[in-house]
A and B are shown apart, each in its own frame.
Chain A
Amino acid sequence: MTDRKADFGETFIAALPLGKALGMEMVEIGDGMAAIRMPYHADLIGDPDTGVIHGGAVSALMDTCGGAAVMTHPDNPGGTATIDLRIDYMRAATPGQSITARAECYHMTRSVAFVRAQAFDEDETRPVAAATGTFTVEAKR
C-alpha cells in the first residue's frame, strides 16, 4: 500500500461511527477497489436460534465497502453517497466467522459511479452475498 492509500484506509473507517461500531477494518485498497472485514459479534445476530448474523449487517458492510471503492477510484474528485444498492443473499454466513466484502468501482461517469461487490465468510469459494450499487460522484468543493 502506498502511504496515501494506507492513510485513507485508516481514516476512512475511523471517520464512520457505524463502521467503528460494527468493528469494520480495511484490509485492502486499490484504485477503485476496497476490501473490508467485519468480525463476528453477538450484537450482529439476526437469528437468535442459529447465531447467524442479520442480513442488515451484511448490507451495512457492502454499502461501506462500495463507498470506499468509489472514493479510491482515481477519477473520483471528492466524496460519495449511495444512490441505490441491491443485495442478493446466497447463503447464511457461518456463525463465529468474520465477513469480508470486496467491492470494485468498475465504471465512473462525471456524476455516477457503478459498483459491484461480493461478501465471503472464511470459505472464500462460496460467496455469502453479492451486491450491485450506484453512487454519486461529488465535485470537489
Chain B
Amino acid sequence: MSRPRPEPVQIVKERRDRALSAIVGRVPYIRFLGIGFERHGDELTAVMHFDEKLIGNPILPALHGGATASFLEVTAIIELSWSYLWDDIESGALDPETLAAPGAVRLPKTIDFTIDYLRSGLPRDAYARARINRSGRRYASVHVEAWQDNRSRLYAQGTGHFLMPERDSTG
C-alpha cells in the first residue's frame, strides 16, 4: 500500500494563508476596524488591534460596545466562510487566485446576533475565536468568545444565526 507523498510544508501553509487573506482582504469594514486573523492549521484567532477610534467611553476609557459587537460578528462570519471553503482549499479545487476574484466568495448572511458584554473592553488588543455549533445546508449557529489579557476571563461573548450561501456544483 502506498500513499501519495505529503506536500512540502511551505506549499501547504502558503496555500492556506493566501486563501485566508483572499477571503478576509476583500471586506472593507474588516480593514476599517483593523481586524486580522492568525491561523494554526484550520484554527483561526481574530485580533482587533487597538486604535483610538474604537473607543466608546473616553473617560474610562473603554472600547465601544459597537466595536466589540462588530468584532464578534466579523469573527463568526469569517470562521463560517473559512470552514465551508476548507475542503475545497485543501483539495486544490479552489485556488487562492479564484477566491480573490469578485463574486467568488459569497459570505454567510447574519440572521440574528446576540452580544453579552461581560466586562468593559480595555484600550488594548482584543482576541476572539468562533465555534460552529451547527452548520446545516441553509442555517448555521455560531458562538464567539472574546478576551483581552486572559483567555479564561472573557470580556464578551456572542451567539448568532446565519444564512449560508447556496453552494455551486463546483463544491
Q: Which residues of A contact B (CB under 8 A)?
A: 15-22, 42-49, 53-57, 59-64, 67, 79, 81-89, 92
Contacts and interface: CB of A to CB of B under 8 A. Distances in A.
A60 B70 contact: yes
Nearest to B106: A49
Main secondary structure of the interface of B (DSSP, over half): mixed
B103 A49 contact: yes
Contacts, number: 127
A90 B81 CA distance: 21
A55 B26 contact: no
Contacts of B55: 16-18
What bracket does the count of chain B residues touching chain A fall in?
35 or more
Nearest to A45: B28
B102 interface: yes
Contact of B64 (A16, A54, A88, A92): A16
B27 interface: yes
27 contacts: A16-B56, A16-B64, A18-B54, A46-B27, A48-B26, A48-B102, A49-B103, A54-B27, A54-B70, A54-B74, A56-B71, A56-B74, A59-B73, A60-B66, A60-B67, A63-B64, A67-B65, A81-B65, A82-B115, A83-B117, A84-B116, A85-B69, A85-B115, A86-B112, A86-B113, A86-B115, A89-B113
B120 interface: yes
Interface in B36-83: 52-58, 62, 64-67, 69-71, 73-74, 77
A54 B69 contact: no
Contact of A82 (B28, B109, B111, B117): B117
Contacts of A44: 28-29, 32
B157 to A, nearest CB: 10
Interface in B95-119: 102-103, 106-107, 109-117
Interface of B: 26-33, 52-58, 62, 64-67, 69-71, 73-74, 77, 102-103, 106-107, 109-117, 120
A27 B150 CA distance: 40
Nearest to B71: A56
Nearest to B111: A89
Given A54-B30, A63-B64, A81-B65, 5 more contacts: A18-B67, A19-B64, A43-B31, A45-B29, A60-B66
B56 A57 contact: no
Among A43, A60, A62, the most chain B Cβ lie within 10 Å of the Cβ of A60
Contacts of B27: 45-48, 54
A18 B73 contact: no
Nearest to A92: B109
